[in-house]
Structure formats: structure tokens, C-alpha cells
Amino acid sequence: MKTYKILTLTAVLLLGSLSSCKQYLDVVPDNVATIDNAFANRHEAEKYLFTCYSYIPRNGDLGDDPGMVGGDELWRFENEGGFFSLAKGLQNVVSPLGDRWVNYFRAIHDCNIFLENIGKVADIEQTERERWIAEVKFLKAYYHFTLIKMYGPIPLLKQNVPTDVSAEEAQVNRDPVDSCFNYVVQLIDEAQAHLPETIIDPAREMGRITRPAALAIKAKALVTAASPLFNGNTDQAQLINPDGTVLFNLEYSEAKWEDAVQACKEAIDACEAAGMKLYEYLPAFNQYDLTDTIMTQLSIRNSITERWNSEIIWGNTMSWSAGLQALVTPRMDPSNLDITAIHGVLSPPLHIAEMFYTDKGVPISEDKTWDYDGRYDLRTAETGDRLYIRNGYTTAGLNFDREPRFYASMGFDGGVWYGQGRYDDKNDVNLFYLEAKYRQRNGFGKPGFESITGYFLKKIVHYQNVIGTGNNYSTNNYPFAVMRLADLYLLYAEALNEWQGPGPEVNKYVDLVRERAGLEPVAVAWSNYSTNPGKPGSQTGMREIIRQERLIELAFEGQRFWDIRRWKTAADVLNSPIRAWDLQQVNARDYYRPTVVFNQSFGQKDYFWPIRERDINNNRGLVQNLGW
């Protein structure tokens, strides 16, 4: 009988005050020595199931999610490392930044062990056994998909390699990228019928896989497979195995978009049948009669921060937000500027501020009612601006007359920050606001960490967090969303447009997201306000609209990093400078001068991680990614 040493992995969770939610992911095997012991009974097998879960990437975690600070969406001080070094172009082959090759193949290895042995367990109901098998098949697919996004074509680990094979027999090749995606889809298709539609026991099982979550990830995988990075990418023509196998398809396939459309619609139908819908804030907590302005902002913010809300398809209980919220919350309370529990780092650059629409729902460069050329000129807030910008405060024109998602997502010099213990929006003079010029309370030159660009990340901060006295910061903790319904709607619109071109069905799902954000439908907004009113009528124009809609709606959720890669636009986007306001200036006229913080560079090789040089040397069947 072969025996295997079982790896023990301890899941570290930021559960904060959520003692009642000490869930399944806390439990892992305790140095079990053999497979037979691990699957001797239901209790031990369940521990192994949770080990398979414990490798899930920690979305929103700065140490495990390259999407947060590995691109151009958020910037930090020069001395910061980790994935921020990836954004600075410091990737290498000896010790790759964010290297997850070994970790996720270990995860797949453990999934295989589970699937090969769960049949031995006698004291388990068949329906529960089928659910566990389905969960682990999904996890196996998800780990493969995560590796594909990072490395491109990978070896498919369908079964574990026996320990008694020769070194030569243990050599593996990378599989063609289409085969990799097909295998991900195959596993999810096998799993989905035995997954629950919803979680019945939230106290014990939130974060476990449901059928809607599995179908949503399948949809995202197929949209990724159909996207330019993987569909007819001739830049990868020379990525060939030692045996001559070409690893990238070089011919564009429209059928891949058709498959993506069908998968997205199936996932949408499953989500809606399970009761999911775009989140809208209902003021059950708030004693005040809030304005539509603040209600809309809270619908946007709480779609992320309200735990297990109606829009969350899959929340990551391996990644809780309390630490991240404290990291990005600025010191806005004038009575407690010495608090060190909050820092206000992770700064959106100027191009992200410019990415959001005007209040008419079109790009700032297209809005014929908006002064694009004067966007850096000074302007003083008036009474009508008071819930966005402090009344009487002088700031840049760029910060005026912007869409609700801009104000819900971004903090800035003079910008109102609703909540944090102050909730009466009729008393606007009592609401918090930021002061970010040199040596002001949120400005450069003050002790501690503050914004390096002049902008702050508001979106992921729960509005009911409270800055207390001393060093007290009360945080509403929530699991970071892996996927929410707005993401799925926009994937469906994108796939439809790529397959058949623009039309009412495409507009419908974009407009659903825009409506929640307080914007008019695409056709109305472009017809009435854009200098390019015919843009939504062409496939190319609608593609640009959908892509910008995704970048805005999913800003600061770790999605932009992957989207600009699969679209193959990263080589353009990430070769632009990171710009900020001139932070060492006291007066507004000098402060609002764009300055360059860092000149990013991105080449074709940067679309995929390098495989660690040591792993290439140990496995002669592996071929390195191009350019490394």
C-alpha cells in the first residue's frame, strides 16, 4: 500500500468580532500520517475537504492578490515591496514575484487525493458525499483556472503522479491552452449538478461553493478563453513544447464567444433563480431621511461592504477585510488626528480619477457639457455640491460634476466622506471631509502614512466603521467578494457584443448596472451628451463602453489587473506614467498641478508570470514563458 505524507495548512482568518462565524475554513487535519487515517471516517474526511478549500486565493489580500497593487489602479510609497514590486516592473525568473506555481499544484494534488479516496468513507450519506466531490472538483478547476490566468498553458494534473515512478516518467509538459480551459469547464460541468443552489446553514457554511458560484466562475473562465490574450494570440506563436506541440491557438475563434454567451446566461439564470439581485441600500439602520445622493452612494459602497448581500455570488471567507479597511481609511476626524490604527495609504492615481464618467454617464473626454480642457483648473464648491465637496472648498474641476461611483469610490482634497459615525446628510457641515494639501490633516508631510497621489480609496471602507477616541477604530468586517452579480452582467454584455455585435440585450445588462449607479441608459446618455453619439451603435464603440463600464464598476476589487491582460491592452495602459497632484504645495493653484510619481513599463513578456528557473531546471518537459 502506498502512503503519502499529508500537508497540514493552517488557515489564518481575520474574523474580528465575528466569533459566531468561526466556520469550516478554520479546521484542517492535524498531522495525519496516512491516507487511510485521513479517510477513516466522515469527521476526518471533512477535515481533508477543508484542506482543499484552504488554498483558495485570498482576494483583496495585499500579500496574495496581485490584482490589488500589482498594476496601476492603486499606488504606494516607494519603499513598499510585495506585489507593488510587480507594478514597478521588478519581475524575475530566479524568485518570481507572486509565484504560486508550487502552491496551487499542491492544492490540486490534495484535491486529487480527496477525490481518489472519499469513496472509502463508510459513515457518510451519499448525497453529502456527492456534494463534497462536487465541491472539490470545482476547487480543482478553480486552481487550474488561477494558474492559467497567471502562467498561460500549464500541465494538467488530472491524477497525481505515483511516488514509485522514475524521474524520467515524472517529467511533465505544458498542455495547450485550449485543453487547459476545456478541462476547467469539464470539471465544473461534472460538479454543478450536485452543488446546492444556496447555502442552507449560513453560520457553518458561508463561503462554500454553490451551483450559481460554480456557473459564474465557469462563465468567467470561458470569457477569459475567448478574450484576445487566449484567442488567436499570435504573439505567443513561439511558445512550443520540446515535442513540438504548439501551446497557443493562433486562429481567432468566434465560437468561443458563443460558448461564453451561453455560459454567462446560464449563470445569470441560476443566480436570479436563487434570489440574487443587484444590491440597493435600504435604510434599516439609518434613522435619518437620507437624500437620493447618499442613498445611491451607499448602494454602490455596500454592494461590496455589506456582508452576504443580495449581489454576492461568492464571498471569500479566506479573506476578511478589516486589516485592509484600516490600511486605507484616512485620519479624517479633526479631534483625533494622532490615531495610528488607520493610515490612508493605497492611493488611486490621477488616471483612475479621470476614468470615471461625468454626471451625465459618459467619459469626461466625450461629454459636450463638461469642461475637459479645464479639468485641472480651480473651482469652488457651492451649495449644490455640498454632499460631494465641502461647501466653499476650492478644489480641481476634475472633482466636480462626476458620476456617483466617483464619489462613492474616491476620497480627495475637499471631498465629503459620508459615514464613519456621522450619518445626518441634512447637516452637511458636520460630515467628514478631507484636507490633502501639504501638511494638512490628510496631506503629505504629516507623520504617518497618507496618500501619495492626493486621492484615497473609499469604496471598500464600510460606512459604519467609527473612528473613536485614542487608537480605537471600530470596523465592520466582511469577506472580500470573489464575484458579484454586476461582474457577471457585464461579462454577459461583453460576450454578446463580441459574438453578435451591439443590440438591446447587450444594452439591457449594461444599463442594469448603470441604473443602480444612478446613470441614464447608454443609448440616452450617448445620444444626449456625447460628442460621439453613434458610439453605442458599433461593435467597436460598444466594446469600449463595456470595458470602461467594467473598469469603473469593479474598480479596486482586483479585477482591472486581469481584465487589461485578457484584453491585451496592458501593454498600452501600463506604459503610461503614474501621475498625482503636487503634494508638497500649500496653496490650491500649485497643489493642483499634475506630477509624475513613477514611469511604468510593461512588455509582451509581462502578460504571463515566468516559471521559476529552478522548476524549469528540475523538469525538462517544461518550457519557459516567452521573454523570460
Could you give the CA distance from residue 457 to residue 305 in angstroms, rounded to a whole number? 13
Is residue 96 situated within a structural domain? Answer: no
Q: Which grid cell sits at 396?
A: 480641481
Could you give the CA distance from residue 214 to residue 224 in angstroms, rounded to a whole number? 15
- pLDDT given at position 530: 98
- pLDDT given at position 533: 98
Instruction: Kindly give the interhelix angle for 485-500 and 255-273, rounded to the nearest 10 degrees.
Output: 150
- pLDDT given at position 31: 41
- pLDDT given at position 4: 34
**Contact criterion met (CB below 8 Å) for 580 and 617:** no
Region 64-78: mean pLDDT is 92
Whether residue 10 has pLDDT greater than 80? no
Region 475-492: mean pLDDT is 97
Name the residue with higher pLDDT: 23 or 628.
Answer: 628
Query: What is each CA distance from 212 to 140, 194, 269, in whole angstroms?
Result: 17, 12, 9
Could you give the CA distance from residue 339 to residue 473 in angstroms, rounded to a whole number? 9
Distance of CA 587 to the CA centre of its chain: 36
Could you give the CA distance from residue 6 to residue 397 in angstroms, rounded to a whole number? 60
Whether residue 28 has pLDDT greater than 60? no
Whether residue 450 has pLDDT greater than 90? no
Closest to 221 measured CA to CA, from 176, 277, 278, 180? 180
Query: What is each CA distance from 207 to 11, 91, 316, 326, 479, in whole angstroms?
Result: 14, 32, 6, 23, 9
Could you give the CA distance from residue 580 to residue 456 in angstroms, rounded to a whole number? 12
Q: What is the pLDDT of residues 177-216, one digit of tens each?
A: 999 999 999 999 999 999 999 998 888 999 999 999 999 9
The type of residue at 165 is: V
Q: What is the pLDDT of residues 549-567, one digit of tens each?
A: 999 999 999 999 999 999 9
Is residue 67 situated within a structural domain? Answer: no
- Domain CATH number, residue 316: 1.25.40.390
Could you give the CA distance from residue 15 to residue 534 in angstroms, rounded to a whole number? 50
**With bands split at pLDDT 50, 70 and 90, how would you rate the model's confidence at 3?**
very low
DSSP state, residue 240: B
Query: What is each CA distance from 356 to 3, 359, 383, 410, 549, in whole angstroms?
Result: 56, 9, 23, 10, 9
- pLDDT given at position 420: 95
The type of residue at 372 is: Y
Region 514-523: mean pLDDT is 98
Is residue 142 situated within a structural domain? Answer: no
- pLDDT given at position 604: 96
Region 25-47: mean pLDDT is 73
**With bands split at pLDDT 50, 70 and 90, how would you rate the model's confidence at 82?**
confident
Query: What is each CA distance from 223 to 109, 254, 262, 503, in whole angstroms?
Result: 26, 12, 10, 19
The type of residue at 64 is: D
- pLDDT given at position 285: 62
The type of residue at 2 is: K
Name the residue with higher pLDDT: 171 or 624.
Answer: 624
Q: What is the pLDDT of residues 334-362, one digit of tens each?
A: 999 889 999 898 999 999 999 999 999 99
Structural element, H or E, at residue 290: none
Domain that holds residue 299: 205-603
Length of the chain, please? 628
**Contact criterion met (CB below 8 Å) for 141 and 216:** no
Is residue 209 situated within a structural domain? Answer: yes
Q: Which phi and psi angles does 317 have, rounded to 5°?
A: -75, 0
Structural domains counted in the chain: 1
Q: Look at residue 580 and give its three-state secondary structure.
A: strand
Whether residue 170 has pLDDT greater than 90? no
Could you give the CA distance from residue 586 to residue 136 in angstroms, rounded to a whole number? 57
Residue 247, exposed/middle/buried by CB under 10 A (0-12, 13-18, 19+)?
A: buried
Q: Which long-range contacts link 286-290 to residues 24+ away (Cβ below 8 Å)?
A: 286/423, 287/423, 288/423, 288/424, 288/425, 288/426, 289/426, 290/425
Q: Which phi and psi angles does 404 have, rounded to 5°?
A: -55, -30
- Other CB atoms closer than 10 Å to residue 593's CB: what's the count? 12
**Contact criterion met (CB below 8 Å) for 316 and 139:** no
The type of residue at 410 is: M
- pLDDT given at position 165: 67
Question: What sections of 155-275 are H helices per DSSP?
Answer: 177-192, 202-205, 211-226, 255-273
Least confident interval from 38-47, 77-86, 515-524, 562-571:
77-86
Could you give the CA distance from residue 67 to residue 124 in angstroms, rounded to a whole number? 39
**Contact criterion met (CB below 8 Å) for 521 and 511:** yes
Whether residue 21 has pLDDT greater than 80? no
- Alpha-carbon torsion (214, 220, 222, 224), positive or negative: negative
Q: Parallel, antiparallel, or unpaired: how do β-strands 416-417 and 479-484 relate?
A: unpaired
Is residue 305 situated within a structural domain? Answer: yes
Region 246-250: mean pLDDT is 97
Share above pLDDT 90 across residues of the chain, in percent, rounded to a whole number? 86
Closest to 359 measured CA to CA, from 398, 417, 304? 398
Region 450-473: mean pLDDT is 95
Q: Look at residue 50 and give its three-state secondary structure.
A: helix
Q: What is the pLDDT of residues 384-423, one digit of tens each?
A: 999 999 999 999 999 999 999 999 999 999 999 999 999 9
**Contact criterion met (CB below 8 Å) for 347 and 237:** no
- pLDDT given at position 44: 96
Q: What is the pLDDT of residues 256-296, one digit of tens each?
A: 999 999 999 999 999 999 999 999 998 876 678 899 999 99
Closest to 135 measured CA to CA, from 116, 114, 117? 114
List all residues 6 or more positions away from 244 whose beta carbon is below 8 Å from its beta carbon.
none
Query: What is each CA distance from 43 to 40, 118, 204, 613, in whole angstroms?
Result: 8, 12, 15, 41
Whether residue 169 has pLDDT greater than 90? no
pTM above threshold 0.75: yes
Region 360-375: mean pLDDT is 98
- pLDDT given at position 161: 77
Q: What is the mean pLDDT of the chain?
A: 92
Q: Parallel, antiparallel, or unpaired: how do β-strands 473-474 and 466-467 relate?
A: antiparallel
Is residue 35 situated within a structural domain? Answer: no
- pLDDT given at position 127: 97
Could you give the CA distance from residue 399 to residue 414 in angstroms, rounded to a whole number? 9
Closest to 387 measured CA to CA, from 414, 362, 365, 409? 414
Residue 163, exposed/middle/buried by CB under 10 A (0-12, 13-18, 19+)?
A: exposed
Structural element, H or E, at residue 416: strand 416-417
**Contact criterion met (CB below 8 Å) for 239 and 623:** yes
